[in-house]
Amino acid sequence: MAGLPSQPSSEGKLSAGVFDGIAIRLLAPSWLMIGFFLLLPVAMMLVYSFLTKEFRGGVIWEPSLAAYDQFIFDRGLFGDEPPVIEWTYITIFGRSIWQAALATVLCLIIGFPTAYYIATRPANTRGVWLFLITIPYWVNLLIRTVSMKFLIRDTGPLNQFLISTGMIDSPIHIVNTNFAVQLGLFYSYLPFMVLPIYAAVERYNFALSEAAFDLYASRWTTLRKILIPVVKPGIIAGCILVFIPSLGAFLAPDLLGGAKTFMIGSLIEEQFKGSAGNWPFGAAASMILLSMVLLVLMFYARQQTRAGNGAR
């Protein structure tokens, strides 16, 4: 999202480019498609979040704040008691943020050294390393999540292996814990962390490290004080690319977690399944999630412009 690619002007030529004058016509199909089938639907979702719920799923066209009210307040079974703060949904959102943050940290701890290692390989082998990292990403997310679940089940190969080697006596319970969800999210989005950091380290000028070395900085001081500040935009980009999809993830929490690890994705999904659902509430929860994501993206855009101004 670094803005528009700059257009090199064809020097000494006054004639217009081949595609001058028809930019709007060329862009129109994408505008129509995304505008009509995504932007308009999001606007409609906003409207739906202010409507009244219909009991068979769907809405009644009557304006209401009930969805947002339900999110924050508990007014008793019949809605006539004095409102108290309802913690259920706030907790689910808080937990989602926490889980997504931990998954991001996990990705960073493993992704940073990996990205660095790959970026410092000879140019002809980098492509192969990157390819190895990205292949799993292109394997169906559902299949990856199911595979992870199969591996870490109580009676799964991991526990069998650990028991047979005598490292443990009884299986470790991993499925249905917070850790399983973090592991699943880590597994889902790790390449998003590696790729931007790789790109940043690849552009890094190692003369800076050499200068630090010559001035008797240790390897780790150089890493901390020189390399990391310089490649920070890449690190931030990686963190955001992992954090955002983790926040609204559905498969990892649903398959690897249990009732105790309920996250936003499952909460939203539940509102649209069958007659027990509540469309306005689901729309409101989606709007809140979308607002959070937009806030993170705005923060990111500001960081990037600042980094861009500082570096060049």
Partner 1 sequence: MPGNTTDVRRYPGFFAFTILCLVLLYTPLIIVTIYSFNDSTSITTWGGFSWRWYQDVFFGIEAAKFKTAAWNSLSIATMAAITATVIATSAAIGMIRGNSFRGKSLSFGLINLPLMVPEIVSAVATLIFFSAIGITRGYFSILIAHMVFCIPFAYLPIAARLEGIEKSYEEAAIDLYATRWKAFTRVLMPLLAPGIMSGFLLAFIISLDDFIITNFVKGAGVETLPTAIFGSVKQGIKPNIMALSTLMLLVSVFFVSLSYYVNKLGERSRK
Contact positions with partner 1 (CB under 8 A) in 250-279: 250-251, 255, 264-265, 268-269, 272, 279
Name which position in 102, 199, 293, 307 contacts partner 1 (CB under 8 A).
293
The DSSP call for residue 248 is T
Q: Can you give the C-alpha Rg of the chain in angstroms?
A: 25
Asked whether the beta carbons of 66 and 284 are under 8 A apart, the reply is: no
Q: What SS3 class is residue 26?
A: helix
Which residue, among 304, 260, 266, 268, has the nearest Cα to 288 in the 3D structure? Answer: 268
The stretch among 68-76, 79-87, 91-99, 109-117 that binds partner 1 (CB under 8 A) is 109-117
Asked if 50 interacts with partner 1 (CB under 8 A), we say: no
CB of 118 to partner 1, least distance (A): 7
**CB neighbours (10 Å) of residue 287?**
18
- Name the token pair of 258: 């249990």
# chain residues binding partner 1, by CB under 8 A: 103
Asked if 146 interacts with partner 1 (CB under 8 A), we say: yes
Name which position in 141, 174, 235, 252 contacts partner 1 (CB under 8 A).
141
**Looking only at residues 187 through 216 of this chain, which bind partner 1 when binding is defined by CB under 8 A?**
187, 190, 194, 206, 209-210, 213
Name which position in 68, 75, 176, 248 contacts partner 1 (CB under 8 A).
248
Count how many residues are written for the chain: 312
Show the binding pattern over residues 60-79: x = contacts partner 1 (CB under 8 A), - = does not: --------------------
Asked if 147 interacts with partner 1 (CB under 8 A), we say: yes
Rounded to the nearest 5 degrees, what angle is found at the Cα of 83, between the Cα atoms of 78 and 86? 95
Which residue, among 146, 212, 138, has the nearest Cα to 175 in the 3D structure? Answer: 146
Name which position in 203, 219, 224, 225 contacts partner 1 (CB under 8 A).
219
The stretch among 62-70, 83-91, 145-153, 231-239 that binds partner 1 (CB under 8 A) is 145-153
CB of 79 to partner 1, least distance (A): 25
Name which position in 66, 103, 118, 197 contacts partner 1 (CB under 8 A).
118
Q: What is the phi/psi pair of residue 55, to 5°? A: -70, -25
All residues at 6 or more sequence positions from 247 whose CB lies less than 8 Å from its CB, including other chains: 96, 97, 100, 264, 289, 292, 293
CB of 202 to partner 1, least distance (A): 12
Name which position in 102, 105, 136, 176 contacts partner 1 (CB under 8 A).
136
**Phi-psi map region of 33: left, alpha, beta (phi>0 left; psi -120 to 50 alpha):** alpha
Closer Cβ to partner 1, 155 or 309, answer by number: 155
- Name the token pair of 215: 């001035």
Q: What SS3 class is residue 52?
A: strand
Name which position in 138, 167, 170, 275 contacts partner 1 (CB under 8 A).
138
